[in-house]
């Protein structure tokens, strides 16, 4: 649930100031009786063009013992870098310690920085002044339902075949960019890249397809756009193609409950109100888990207890009739860096179960799991084809989540190691492996940088291959370094849910060895785009990176391949779309 009072929407778009003239001052948030690290902010100049923010934060926290909140580069290759702190003492100390400090061959300089303006209020001021220029935002003049549709499912108005064409073009452009960047960071690959371009014409196989604010009432639905785009209004979901009928019924039922309650919806501008967000997790096994996020305000333990009782009663009665099978509540006020939300189970089932490729998976409320099961099956089949596993293979399932990829591929490999940092996900993965009688998987909890080295000594004579399925921002550079340093790793299947944000990872895989980068580099060989998100402009891009072997590729380019390498001369073979059966699913199955 993103739920917002419609009075706020009136105020936002019609300029009616009902909460005081200072509400729209873009720095008003710094005057609230709430913590914001923007009050304790400095700017640092002199850093190298592509400095590693994580390493810089480590310098500040571990070496200088500063209470750092955020390290925010202005952008790749741009200055300055902004750093915020937990208190004024740390900010002042940083100004002194970093001024003239030499780091990685550079001399740093510092200065006090002003707080960043509130993005929403800044947009409102620009609208009043007539200077606002939207950058791809949905027009405010459109009907609310159309704005929600364009925001959440921007391709819903075009045919599915056309959607696939647009995504195919986008995938090819990303691959062309990868080729350019790999050639730039590793010039010795010039002949390899030219040969690949001529041979494969982009080396991507056919994309694999898958299937109120205007009422002045509290609405449970999707945000029309983001906070920074100047819009906090919420629109309904009943007309959206990517939401199942079962989920729509639950959303409408919960909306009625919220409207009839005595609690207001949380207002992201004034920070008043209680109802913050609703997450609905459903499965094809008729499970439906609710996670309700509320702001405690000044309710106290007694008031929160009463709210939870009413939530529980709703689920027992109206909610269960609508299909709800379990309920969690998360009480969270101001977000605190490094502190995880506590999920309190209030009623019903503690998890949902989903069936993927004949395997059954338990999914906890915090664990990541693909929302489009039919398309996820195509994705995992494509990953299996690219990985080319057999009984001589040890597979590293990096960022394994609840274990879906490794468990679905377990029968093809000799040994699998799953790596994950979320303990609930590891617990689910271990349960899922046991429930599916999978005995050749071990799961390791912790950062990949720490767990990967312990694995390499346990694989003996097996050929090591890795599958990485990281969050949108990609893998930490240390994980890429570990994969490169250990020559046992012969290939990496990289699953990118947002490939435009993974280019630093791609460059790190392909850079030539140096004093700071150890181990032979990898080269991109094959790619498959999978449409997990019909009616949107998003897709998953799966890339196979192989450890570069000069002799192997020279013989292939010279049309004299070694035994077993003939497949590289036939283009993209064993299409994952063919391996997975039908390529086009019903659009409504998303």
Domain boundary pick from 321, 356, 391: 356
CB of 326 within 8 A of CB of 350?
A: yes
467 and 501 share one domain? yes
Q: Please give the Cα distance from 251 to 324 (Å, whole number).
A: 10
Do 240 and 188 have their domain in common?
A: no
Q: How far apart are CA 545 and CA 352, in angstroms?
A: 34
- Per-residue pLDDT, 460: 77
How buried is residue 328: exposed, middle or buried, by Cβ count under 10 Å (0-12/13-18/19+)? buried
Q: Angle 18-24-25 (CA atoms, 0-180°, nearest 5)?
A: 140
Token representation of residue 454: 């312990």
- Please indicate, yes or no, whether residues 197 and 236 belong to a single structural domain of this protein: no
CATH no. for residue 197?
Answer: 3.40.50.150
221 and 344 housed in the same domain: yes
179 and 254 within one domain = no
In this structure, the answer to whether residues 475 and 455 fall within a common structural domain is: yes
Nearest residue to 362 (alpha-carbon basis) of 377, 371, 351, 373? 351
**Consecutive 10-residue runs of the chain (590 residues): their mean pLDDT?**
35 32 55 77 88 87 91 79 91 93 92 80 63 56 70 82 90 89 84 69 44 47 56 68 82 90 83 87 90 91 94 94 94 67 92 92 86 89 94 93 94 94 89 95 87 80 90 86 89 92 90 87 91 89 90 76 69 40 30
User: In this structure, are 561 and 426 located in the same domain?
Assistant: yes
| Shared-domain flag, residues 295 and 402 | no
Residue 297 lies in a domain: yes
Q: What is the dihedral of CA 437, 440, 443, 444, to 10 degrees?
A: 160
Same domain? For 222 and 198 the reply is: no
Pair (455, 514) in one structural domain: yes
For residue 420, say whether it is annotated as part of any ligand binding site: yes
Residue 474 in domain: yes
Q: How far is CA 419 from CA 407, 492, 553, in A?
A: 13, 15, 32
Confirm whether 131 is domain-assigned.
Answer: no
Residue 2: inside a domain: no
Give the span between the Cα atoms of 17 and 11, in whole angstroms.
6
Q: Is the peptide bond before 80 cis (omega within 30 degrees of 0)?
A: yes
Question: pTM of the full predicted structure?
Answer: 0.75
Is 117 within a domain? no
Find tokens 């979901």 and name the residue. 237
Alpha carbon distance 491, 552 (integer Å): 14
Give the pLDDT score at 336: 58
Same domain, 203 and 217: no
Element housing 69 (H / E)? strand 68-73
- pLDDT at residue number 128: 62
Among the candidates 356, 382, 415, a domain finishes at: 356
Domain, as residue range, for 351: 213-356
Give the pLDDT score at 205. 41
DSSP characters for 199-213?
HHTT-BPPPBP---G
Q: Are residues 233 and 189 part of one domain?
A: no
CA distance linking residue 123 with residue 129, whole number of Å: 10
Domains in the chain, number: 3
590 belongs to a structural domain: no
Q: Is 297 exposed, middle or buried (0-12, 13-18, 19+ CB in 10 A)?
A: middle
Q: What is the CATH number of the domain that holds 314?
A: 2.40.50.1070
Residue 10 lies in a domain: no
The answer to whether the annotation marks 272 as part of a ligand binding site is: no
Task: Say if 154 falls within a structural domain.
Answer: no
Which token pair is 182? 């790999």
- 70, β-bridge pairs: 84
Marked catalytic residue, from 288, 329, 399, 497? 497
Per DSSP, the three-state class of 188 is helix
CATH number at residue 62: 3.30.70.330
* Catalytic residue status for 497: yes
d(CA 60, CA 47): 14
What phi-psi label fits residue 298: left (phi over 0), alpha (psi between -120 and 50 degrees) or beta? alpha
Is 531 annotated as belonging to a binding site?
no
SS3 336: coil
* DSSP secondary structure letter of residue 440: S
Among the candidates 328, 356, 384, a domain finishes at 356
Give the number of other CB atoms < 10 A from CB of residue 170: 18
């Amino acid at each position: 649930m993103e739920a917002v009072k419609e009075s706020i929407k009136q105020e936002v778009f019609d300029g009616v100031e009902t909460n005081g003239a200072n509400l729209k001052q873009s720095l008003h948030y710094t005057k609230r009786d709430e913590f914001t690290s923007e009050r304790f902010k400095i700017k640092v100049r002199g850093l190298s063009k592509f400095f590693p923010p994580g390493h810089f934060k480590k310098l500040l926290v571990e070496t200088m013992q500063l209470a750092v909140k955020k390290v925010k580069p202005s952008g790749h290759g741009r200055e300055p870098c902004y750093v915020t702190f937990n208190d004024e003492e740390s900010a002042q100390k940083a100004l002194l310690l970093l001024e003239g400090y030499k780091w990685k061959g550079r001399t740093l300089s510092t200065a006090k920085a002003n707080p960043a303006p509130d993005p929403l209020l800044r947009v409102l001021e620009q609208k009043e002044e007539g200077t606002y220029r939207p950058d791809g935002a949905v027009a405010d003049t459109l009907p609310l339902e159309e704005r929600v549709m364009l925001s959440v499912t921007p391709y819903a108005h075009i045919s599915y075949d056309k959607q696939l064409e647009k995504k195919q073009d986008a995938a090819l452009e990303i691959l062309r960019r990868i080729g350019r960047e790999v050639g730039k960071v590793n010039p010795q690959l010039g002949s390899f890249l030219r040969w690949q371009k001529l041979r494969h014409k982009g080396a991507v196989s056919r994309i694999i397809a898958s299937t109120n604010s205007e009422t002045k009432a509290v609405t449970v639905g999707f945000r029309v756009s983001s906070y920074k785009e100047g819009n906090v209004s919420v629109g309904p979901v009943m007309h959206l193609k990517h939401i199942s009928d079962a989920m729509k019924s639950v959303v409408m039922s919960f909306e009625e409950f919220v409207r009839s309650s005595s609690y207001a919806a949380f207002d992201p501008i004034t920070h008043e109100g209680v109802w913050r967000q609703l997450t609905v997790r459903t499965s094809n096994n008729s499970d439906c888990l609710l996670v309700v996020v509320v702001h405690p305000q000044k309710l106290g333990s007694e008031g929160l207890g009463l709210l939870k009782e009413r939530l529980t009663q709703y689920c027992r009665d109206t909610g269960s009739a609508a299909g709800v099978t379990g309920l969690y509540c998360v009480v969270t006020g101001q977000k605190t860096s490094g502190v995880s939300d506590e999920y309190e189970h209030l009623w019903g089932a503690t998890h949902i179960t989903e069936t993927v490729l004949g395997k059954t998976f338990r999914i906890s409320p915090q664990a990541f799991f693909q929302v489009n099961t039919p398309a996820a099956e195509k994705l995992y089949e494509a990953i299996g084809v690219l990985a080319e596993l057999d009984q001589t293979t040890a597979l590293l399932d990096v960022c394994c989540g609840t274990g879906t990829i490794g468990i679905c591929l377990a029968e093809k490999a000799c040994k699998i190691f799953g790596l994950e940092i979320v303990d609930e996900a590891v617990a689910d993965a271990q349960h899922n492996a046991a429930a599916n009688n999978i005995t050749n998987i071990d799961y390791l909890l912790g950062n990949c940088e720490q767990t990967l080295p312990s694995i390499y000594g346990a694989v003996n004579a097996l050929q090591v291959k890795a599958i990485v399925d990281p969050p949108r921002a990609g893998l930490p550079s240390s994980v890429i370094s570990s994969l490169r340093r250990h020559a046992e790793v012969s290939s990496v299947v990289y699953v990118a849910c947002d490939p435009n944000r993974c280019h630093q990872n791609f460059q790190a895989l392909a850079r030539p060895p140096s004093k700071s980068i150890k181990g032979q580099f990898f080269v991109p060989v094959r790619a498959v785009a999978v449409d997990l998100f019909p009616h949107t402009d998003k897709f998953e891009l799966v890339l196979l990176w192989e450890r570069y072997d000069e002799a192997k590729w020279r013989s292939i380019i010279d049309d004299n391949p070694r035994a077993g390498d003939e497949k590289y001369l036939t283009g993209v073979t064993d299409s994952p779309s063919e391996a997975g059966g039908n390529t086009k699913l019903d659009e409504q199955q998303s």
